[in-house]
Structure 1
Amino acid sequence: MVDLHARRNLRTVCSEVLVLLVSAFIYSIAFPGLLSANGIGFVAMFALIPVFAVIRNTTWKLTPIYGFFYGFMFYLFFNYWLKTFHPLAILIVPIIKGGEMLLLFPVLKAAQKLFKKYGYLVEALIWVAYSYLSQDWFAGYPYGTLGSAVYRYLPLIQISEIFGIWGVTFILVMPQTFLGVYLYRWYHDREYSLKGYLKEHIAFIIAYGAALLATLIFGFASMAYWKAQEPDKTWRVATIQHSADTWEGGYTTYKRNFNTLRKMSLEALKEDPDIILWSETAFVPSVAWHENYPSDPATSALVEEFVEFGKSLPIPLVTGNPEGVIKDPSKPALGEDGSWNRTDYNTVIFFEDGRIKNTYRKQHLVPFTEHFPYEKQLPWLYNLLLANDYNWWETGYDPVVFETEEGVKFSTPICFEDVFGYLNADFVSNGADVIVNMTNDGWSKAVPAEMQHLGLAVFRSIENRRTTVRGTNSGMTCVIDVTGKIVDPMAPFTVGYHMYDVPVYSGEVHGTTFYTRYVDWFAYLTVYLSAILLVGGALYRLYRYVTNNRQKP
C-alpha cells in the first residue's frame, strides 16, 4: 500500500506550482486568446484535471496561496488584452480573481477531506456555485466561465434553455473533478490502473454517461425543432460598423465619426432596411445635456445636426449616446469655479416618427471603470482610480423594451450587459422578442477580446430562445440565432455596414423558456447544496470525533 501522504519537500512544491502555471495557460487557450481567435474549446474538457489533483495533494497552508496564484495567472493569460485599456486594469482583474480563488481552493479541499470517496461530486457543485457567485457581486466578471469555452459546440449547450450556462459548466467540470482523484492517486501509485478506478465508480460512470447522452439528444432535438420553426416575422436590420478609435476624442473626432455613420446609414437605406443600428456611444456628445444646457457652440451645433438627422430618417435609428443630467438640482449647471454640475448615464436612444421615442439606461456597469460604490469605505482606491482617468456612470434600473411601429419589441443590453443571463432574461420577461446588443470593444484592439465577449453572448440567445443582433463599433457585429449559431459576422476592425434579416420569435407565439421563467435556478441550487453538504459534512465529522473520544477509556 503506497502512502498517499508521503513527506513533502521543496521539489514537491515546485512541481505543484509548475503544474498550476501550465494548467492556467492550457485552460486559457480553451477560450479565444493568444493561440486562437476562436479558442480551442475541447481543451476546457480536461484542462482543470491537474488543478483538482494538486489541491488534493497539497497542504492546507499552501491551498489558499495556490488558489491566488492560479487565479492570477489564468486571468493574466486569458485577459492579456486588458493592458490595452490601462496598465492598472491588467492588475486589478487578476488580483480580484486570484482573491476569489484564494477562497475557492480551500473550500474545494474541504470537500475532498469531508467526503472521502465521493468528494469529486461535491467539488463539481462547488465549482459551479463559485462560477455563479464570482459574477454576482460588485466586481462580478463572467469572462472565463468554463461553459463559455464551448460556445461553438452547439448540441452540447442547448441545455442552457433549462439550466443556463451553469448546466453546461457542470457537465464539463464533473468528469474533471472525478479524474482529478485518479490523477492524484496515480501520482502516488503508478501501478494504480484507470480501469480499476472506473470499475470502482461504475455507478458514477453510468449516471454521467446517461446525463451526457441526454444532453446531446436534447441538443440535437432542440436544434432540429428550432430550425423547423417559421419566425413570426423577419426584421431587416442595417448594422453600421464605423470602427472608430475609442481612444480619440474631441470635436473633430466626433464630427468625423458622425459623418461616417451618416454616410453609411444613407447607403444602407438604399437596401430597404426596417431599422438602422449604431453601436454603444457611437455619437458621443450628449443630446440630453446639450439640448438643455448648450455650452460649446460647435458641439451644440453638431448635436443639433445629429438629432435632425435621426428625426429625418424614414425608419427608426437606434444608437448609443451618453445622457447628461444635472447632478445636484439645487445648483446651476455651471458652477462658479467653471465646473459642470453634471452626471451621466450610458444610454441608448431610439428615434422613430421624427422624434426621440424612448431611451434605455445601462443597468449593469463595468466595475472600477464605470462604477465604484466604495468611495467612503476605500477612499484610497477611489482616488487612485480617478487619478488614472477612470470616470463613473450612473446606474439605470429599468429593463426597457422598445417597440417599433411595425410591432417589433426589442431591448438593448449595452456592451457587457449581454454576458449576464439574469439581465437578458429580465428583458425577455418584460416583453422583448429580440435582443439587440450595443457594444464597443474597439478599445481592446484585440479580436480575441471581442470573441470572448461574443462567446458569452451566444448563451443569451439559447437561454431565452430569442435572436440576438449585435451592433458594434468594430466587432463582433453579427446575428446569433435561437440555437446559438453565429450568423455572418462582419470582419472586425473594418468600416462598413451589413444587412441582416433577423428572425423574430414573439413571446405570444413561442412563450418563454424554463430558464427565462426561473433565472439561474440551477446556480442557486448548487450554491445551497454546496453549503448544506459542507456544513453537514463538517458537523458529521465533529459528531464522529466527539463520539469516538467519549468511547476511549
Structure 2
Amino acid sequence: MIDLYKKRSLGTFCSEVLLLVISAFIYSIAFPGFVSEKGLGFIAFFAIIPVLIVIKNTSWKAVGFHGFLFGVAFYCFFNYWLPNFHKGAIVIVTVIKGTEMLMLFFALKGAVTLFKKHGYLLQGFIWISYAYLSESWFAGYPYGTIAYALYQYLPLIQIAEYTGIWFIIYMIIAPQAYIANNLADRVKRQGDRFLVYVKKNLLFPIIYVAVFIVWLITGTIQLSYWENAKEDRTWRVATIQHNHDSWQGGLTTYRRNFSNLRRLSLEAIRQNPDIVVWSETAFVPSVSWHMNYSYEGAGDTLGNAETAELVKEFVSFAEELDKPLLTGNPTGVLKDPTKGPIDLETGELNRTDYNSVILFDDGTIKATYNKQHLVPFTEHFPYQKQLPWLYNILVALDYNWWEKGDEPVVFESDGVKFSTPICYEDVFGYLPAEFVKNGADVIVNMTNDRWSGSADAAVQHATIATLRSVETRKSTVRSTNSGQTCMILPTGKIVDPVEQFKMTYHIYDVPVYESATYGHTFYVEHIDYLAYASIYISAIALIVGLALNILRRIKK
C-alpha cells in the first residue's frame, strides 16, 4: 500500500482533496438524482469510509478545509437543481452546508484523536448530533441526511416508529467508522491487517451484526403487521395537480390557474371524492382578507376590483362544488389591529400575510393552518438588525416575508382528522409528529415543487416524506402543483405517484388509522429523544476526553 502519509506534502493534501470530491459524488448517488432516478441507497453503507479515513489522517490545519470542501462538493452534486430556483441559491446552500461539515469534521477528528482505540463508537453519535443540529437552526435543511438514502429498504426504516431516523444514522455510520479506523492506520503503514484488527476488536462487529439482524427481523415483522393492519376507514381524496409555472404571477396568471383548478376539480368530482385538495398557494388572492374587509379605495397592487371579483368566483365555485375544498391560500390579517384595513394616511393596506391552508366548506372558511417552519431567506429572515446588508439584498431580489404560524392545527372533515404540513415542513420529523400528537390521523402535505423545474428535486422531497409516515404510522397524501403527487402508506411505501409536469388529477383511497385504535408511536410521544441523547453523549465525551488528554500532558 502506498504510504501517502509518511511525510505530509502538497501531494498528500491534493490526494485528500481528490478523494473527498470523489466520495462526495459517490455519496450523492445513494439518493435520487441525475445518475439514478430512485437512488442507490446501499451506497450509503460504504460511501463515508474514505471520508473518515481522510479525517483521521489529515492534519488539524487541513481538516476544517476538507469538511467545507466535502460539504460544498456533495451538495453541488446532490442539489444540482438549485440554480433553477435562483443562481445564488446553490451558493448559499453549499456555503452553509460546507460550514456545517467543517464543524462536523473537527468533531469527528476530535473523537479519533482523543479516543484512539474506540473513537469510532463516538463518531456515530457525533454524526447524529450533526444531522439534528443542522436541521434545527434558522437555515435548517435536512436534504442529504444519510438515513433518507434507505427509503426504499422498507424493513430497515420501520424502526423509525421508535427512534426516528437517528438509530438508522448510527447503524450506517458506525461500521464505516470502525472500518475506516483500521484502514486509516494501514494507509500510514501503522495498523494491523484488517482481519487481525477485527480479531483484536471483535466485540463491536459481533454486537453490530446481532443488532443488525434484530433490526432486520423486527423491521420485517413490523412491515408485515402494517401491511395487514385493518384501517378504521377509507378517505377518498381528489388531488388536483395543475402544473403551474411558479415563476409566473399577476392577476391574469391567477385567473388562468383558477380556471384550470376549477376544470380539473369538476372532472374529479365525478368520482365522488370525500374532499378536493389543491396544492400550496394554488389560489393566490387571500380569500379570508376579501371576505372580511372591503377593498374600496385600497391600494392593492393586483387591482382591487379584479382581485375581489376573482375571490367572489372562487367562493361561488367552492359553494357549488358541494364538497369540502382544501387549498393553499395566503391568510391576510391586520398588521395593526387598532386600525382598519386601509391606512388612511398613506392609502396602503394595513395587512400582513401567512402562508396558509384553508378548509372551505358550506360557504365559509372552516379552519386555517399557518405555516410554522418557513423557508429561510425567501419566506423568513430574522436577522434584519444583525445583517442589514444581507436583508437589503434579499429585499432587492423581491423576496416577501411571511408571518410565522405557531399552532399545529388539526382539520376535520367528514369525521377524518388531518393536518397539512406546507411545502417542505414534512422533511422535519418533529412537525408531523406534533400534528399527530395533537390529534391528526392523516398527513396531507401541500407543496409546490414545480419551482425547481427538476423531477429529481420533487422525488428527493417525497422520499424524505416516507419516513414521516413510518414515524407516525399515518398515511400521507401529497397534493402538489406538479410533483411528486402521491400517497405514502404507514409502511413508508410510495403509492401511485402522478406523472410530473402534467396537468391532471388523481383519486386516492386513503387508509385512515386512528390513534384511538392504534395509539401513538413511541416516536410521537418522545420526539427526537435519541438525537438529544446523542448531543449530550458527544459533548460530554469530547469534553471529558479533552480534559483527560490535558491531564496526561500535565503529568508528563
Which TM-score band (shorter chain)?
A: over 0.9
Q: CA–CA distance in 2 between the matches of 1:352 and 1:508?
A: 26
8 Å CA contact retained: 1:4, 1:185 = no
**Equivalent position of 1:213 in the other structure:** 213
* SS class of match (2:220): helix
1:201: how far off? 1.7
> 1:217-272: per-residue Cα shift (whole Å, max 9, x none)?
11100011112211000001111100111011111111111111111111111111
Q: CA–CA distance in 1 between the matches of 2:262 and 2:467?
A: 32
**Equivalent position of 1:403 in the other structure:** 412
What amino acid does structure 2 have at the position aligned with 1:195? L
**Equivalent position of 2:494 in the other structure:** 486
Q: Find 1:496's aligned residue among 504, 518, 528.
A: 504
What amino acid does structure 2 have at the position aligned with 1:58? T
Q: CA–CA distance in 2 between the matches of 1:369 and 1:199?
A: 54
Q: CA–CA distance in 2 between the matches of 1:512 and 1:206?
A: 33
Q: CA–CA distance in 2 between the matches of 1:371 and 1:354?
A: 32
Q: CA–CA distance in 1 between the matches of 2:294 and 2:7?
A: 73
**Equivalent position of 1:53 in the other structure:** 53
Q: CA–CA distance in 1 between the matches of 2:312 and 2:505?
A: 24
1:293: how far off? 4.2
Aligned-pair Cα RMSD in Å: 1.7
**Equivalent position of 1:255 in the other structure:** 255
1:340: how far off? 3.3
8 Å CA contact retained: 1:370, 1:393 = yes
> 1:142-168: per-residue Cα shift (whole Å, max 9, x none)?
111000011111111110001101111
What amino acid does structure 2 have at the position aligned with 1:119? G
What amino acid does structure 1 have at the position aligned with 2:336? D
8 Å CA contact retained: 1:362, 1:414 = yes
1:334: how far off? 4.2
Q: CA–CA distance in 1 between the matches of 2:11 and 2:4?
A: 16
Q: Is it true that 1:447 corresponds to 2:443 in the alignment? A: no
1:37: how far off? 2.3
> 1:92-132: per-residue Cα shift (whole Å, max 9, x none)?
11111111111111111110111011010111110111000
**Equivalent position of 2:530 in the other structure:** 522
Q: Which deviates the most, 372-381 or 307-316? A: 307-316
Q: Find 1:424's aligned residue among 432, 437, 452.
A: 432
Q: Is it true that 1:544 corresponds to 2:552 in the alignment? A: yes
Paired residues, number: 547
Q: Is it true that 1:305 corresponds to 2:313 in the alignment? A: yes
Q: TM-score, normalised by structure 2?
A: 0.96
Q: Is it true that 1:9 corresponds to 2:9 in the alignment? A: yes
1:88: how far off? 1.3
Alignment of 1:100-499 (within 5 A): 100-189=100-189, 192-291=192-291, 292-294=293-295, 295=298, 296-331=304-339, 333-335=341-343, 336-337=345-346, 339-404=348-413, 406-499=414-507
Q: Evaluate the alpha carbon distance shift between residue 230 and residue 425 of structure 1 in structure 2; reply closer, same or farther with a 3 A threshold.
A: same
8 Å CA contact retained: 2:5, 2:12 = no
1:331: how far off? 4.9
> 1:47-106: per-residue Cα shift (whole Å, max 9, x none)?
111110001111001111111111111111111111011111111111111111111111
1:352: how far off? 2.1
* SS class of match (1:72): helix
Q: CA–CA distance in 2 between the matches of 1:227 and 1:150?
A: 19
1:354: how far off? 3.0
Q: Which deviates the most, 382-391 or 449-458? A: 382-391
> 1:26-63: per-residue Cα shift (whole Å, max 9, x none)?
11111111212211211111111111000111100111
* SS class of match (1:103): helix
Q: Which deviates the most, 265-274 or 307-316? A: 307-316
* SS class of match (1:237): strand
1:330: how far off? 4.4
Q: CA–CA distance in 1 between the matches of 2:182 and 2:463?
A: 31
Q: CA–CA distance in 2 between the matches of 1:12 and 1:466?
A: 51
* SS class of match (1:270): helix
Q: CA–CA distance in 2 between the matches of 1:431 and 1:81?
A: 36
1:342: how far off? 2.4
1:463: how far off? 0.2
Q: CA–CA distance in 1 between the matches of 2:347 and 2:456?
A: 42
1:411: how far off? 0.3
* SS class of match (2:135): coil
1:329: how far off? 3.3
Q: CA–CA distance in 1 between the matches of 2:9 and 2:491?
A: 51
8 Å CA contact retained: 1:281, 1:319 = yes
Q: CA–CA distance in 2 between the matches of 1:5 and 1:110?
A: 19
Q: CA–CA distance in 2 between the matches of 1:155 and 1:412?
A: 27
Q: Which deviates the most, 447-456 or 174-183? A: 174-183
5+ residue gaps, structure 2: 299-303
* SS class of match (1:31): coil
> 1:384-419: per-residue Cα shift (whole Å, max 9, x none)?
111122221100001000111x21000000010001
Matched-pair identity in %:
57
8 Å CA contact retained: 1:316, 1:350 = yes
1:189: how far off? 2.7
Q: CA–CA distance in 2 between the matches of 1:337 and 1:33?
A: 50
Q: CA–CA distance in 2 between the matches of 1:339 and 1:180?
A: 63
1:542: how far off? 2.0
**Equivalent position of 1:34 in the other structure:** 34
Q: TM-score, normalised by structure 1?
A: 0.96
What amino acid does structure 1 have at the position aligned with 2:233? K
8 Å CA contact retained: 2:5, 2:187 = no
* SS class of match (2:87): coil
Q: CA–CA distance in 2 between the matches of 1:538 and 1:293?
A: 66
What amino acid does structure 1 have at the position aligned with 2:181? V
* SS class of match (2:479): strand
* SS class of match (2:368): strand
> 1:316-340: per-residue Cα shift (whole Å, max 9, x none)?
1100001122223345544555543
Q: Find 1:508's aligned residue among 516, 530, 534.
A: 516
Q: CA–CA distance in 2 between the matches of 1:334 and 1:410?
A: 35
What amino acid does structure 2 have at the position aligned with 1:366? V
Q: Which deviates the most, 531-540 or 425-434? A: 531-540
What amino acid does structure 1 have at the position aligned with 2:400? N
8 Å CA contact retained: 2:126, 2:535 = yes
Q: Evaluate the alpha carbon distance shift between residue 85 and residue 338 of structure 1 in structure 2; reply closer, same or farther with a 3 A threshold.
A: farther
What amino acid does structure 1 have at the position aligned with 2:398? D
